Amino acid sequence: MAKIPEWCRNMKRKIAVVTGTRAEYGYLKPLMKKIEEHTELELLLYVTGMHLLKEYGNTIQEIEKDGFRITKTIDMDVKVDNTTFDMAASMGKGIIGLANVFKEDNPDIVVVFGDRIEPFAAAIAATSMNIPLAHIGGGEVGLGDIDDSLRHAITKLAHLHFTSTNQGKERVLKLGEEKWRVFKVGALSLDAILNEKLLSKNDLCRKYNLPDKPSILISYHPVTTEWQEAERQMKLVVESAVAVANEEEMEVVIIYPNAYPGGFQIIRTIKNTIQKSKNIHVFENLPHLDYISLMAISSVFVGNSSSGIIEAPSLGIPYVCIGTRQQGRERAKNVIDVGYRKDEIISGIKRALFDKEFLEAVKKCESPYGDGKASERIVKVLSEINIDKRLLQKKITY
């Protein structure tokens, strides 16, 4: 048998990670650290999407501050009219840009997270170029948004699947994926919560100039299938939270939305509301650890972010989930679902604050999303899986 050259033996497997948003980066950060620490893996980091947009806080700076070496940036912005056309055009631009960097750097595996247009663009580029694709977070459900369709489409493109829950794994299998490709690892977002020290309330109040008072945290994103209603919906959310905050002498903390159609309308509503209320504090973006820490000290979390479903249970925080965006996603007992009516939202917030039986259930609730060890499970597969014809040639199981 021919001797394997020393240079070949010492080559590291190149793992490309694509990130497009501040929240997604926060989830991927523990995994990226594990890849960097692994002796047989090399991290290629591609930064795109919202990270490069000034109006959403230039969150690429957070990645640089954390010490990660960014391999390349890929601009996906088209700046036309913040509608569904922008979304489609951005995807096209992203596919071209990502295909170019994949061609230049020749990664062994491309890793994407979730269900947005950035991972979808990366998935199209990678699979078209016969690069194995690993997808984190497949099999989840959010019936109110286009993200649901993008997530399942990425599943059908991916060669490896890392699901957060058993139900997610079962859905991926029902989509026809082969069993050996699918790994239930838990939610990546819990790795940071359960393994890192969160900021104290005093530290957060000092850092962000917040009063030391009970607070309502709001994170509300546009629903792509309802984007023309985004301004009206956000107005209801903010007015409801402010009504309760004024009555109970609380503060309201609002985080900017994502860059989907309707995002600018939500931002406009936030800016208009600030002028009328003194107890509102607004942040374009926060480092992920600070965001989770802020959630942990809040009396109640309000909105339609998946953070309330996935992270909040592990923090023992009640979540008032508004509208359709998270319909179908697995829930712990910390969630109160309400519709787009002011009286419903106010009632939900008050229940989350004062219903003793509900609050007791929240304290004891168990999350279906894992134990905070997803990163090490994913890295084990990425380092050990055989990259061969069997991996690339997918078979449908029905």
Q: What is the pLDDT of residues 34-45, one digit of tens each?
A: 999 999 999 999
- One-letter amino acid for residue 359 of the chain: L
Is pLDDT at 7 greater than 80 in this prediction? no
- In the chain, the percentage of residues whose pLDDT exceeds 90 is 82
Question: What is the arithmetic mean of pLDDT over 265-276?
Answer: 89
SS3 269: helix
Is pLDDT at 3 greater than 60 in this prediction? no
Q: Maximum Cα–Cα distance for the chain, whole Å?
A: 80
Least confident of 101-105, 135-139, 259-263: 259-263
Is pLDDT at 274 greater than 90 in this prediction? no
Question: What is the arithmetic mean of pLDDT over 350-355?
Answer: 98
Question: What is the arithmetic mean of pLDDT over 129-147?
Answer: 90
Q: State how beta strands 319-322 and 109-113 pair.
A: unpaired
pLDDT category, 79, cuts 50, 70, 90? confident
Residues forming beta bridges with residue 280, ordered by sequence position: 252
pLDDT 10s digits, 210-229: 999 999 999 999 998 899 99
Is pLDDT at 384 greater than 50 in this prediction? yes
SS3 13: strand
pLDDT category, 10, cuts 50, 70, 90? low
Is residue 317 within 8 A of residue 298, CB to CB? The reply is: yes
Q: State how beta strands 41-48 and 72-74 pair.
A: parallel
Pairwise CA distance, residues 291 & 285, whole Å: 9
- In the chain, the percentage of residues whose pLDDT exceeds 70 is 96
Structure tokens at 288: 């992920």
Is pLDDT at 13 greater than 60 in this prediction? yes
Is pLDDT at 1 greater than 50 in this prediction? no
Exposed/middle/buried for residue 281 (C-beta within 10 Å: 0-12, 13-18, 19+) = middle
Strand order in the sheet with 13-19: 72-74, 41-48, 13-19, 109-113, 133-136, 160-163, 182-184
**Arithmetic mean of pLDDT over the chain:** 93
Supply the pLDDT for residue 119: 98
Strand order in the sheet with 319-322: 280-283, 251-255, 215-219, 300-303, 319-322, 335-338
Pairwise CA distance, residues 262 & 245, whole Å: 26
Supply the pLDDT for residue 31: 98
Pairwise CA distance, residues 17 & 71, whole Å: 10
pLDDT 10s digits, 50-62: 999 988 889 999 9
* More confident call, 342 vs 86: 342
**Which bin fits 49, alpha (ψ -120 to 50), beta or left (φ > 0)?**
left
Domains contained in the chain, CATH given: 12-186+373-392 (3.40.50.2000), 199-364 (3.40.50.2000)
Is pLDDT at 5 greater than 70 in this prediction? no
Supply the pLDDT for residue 144: 62
Exposed/middle/buried for residue 289 (C-beta within 10 Å: 0-12, 13-18, 19+) = middle
pTM metric for this prediction: 0.86
Least confident of 28-32, 38-42, 281-285, 300-304: 281-285
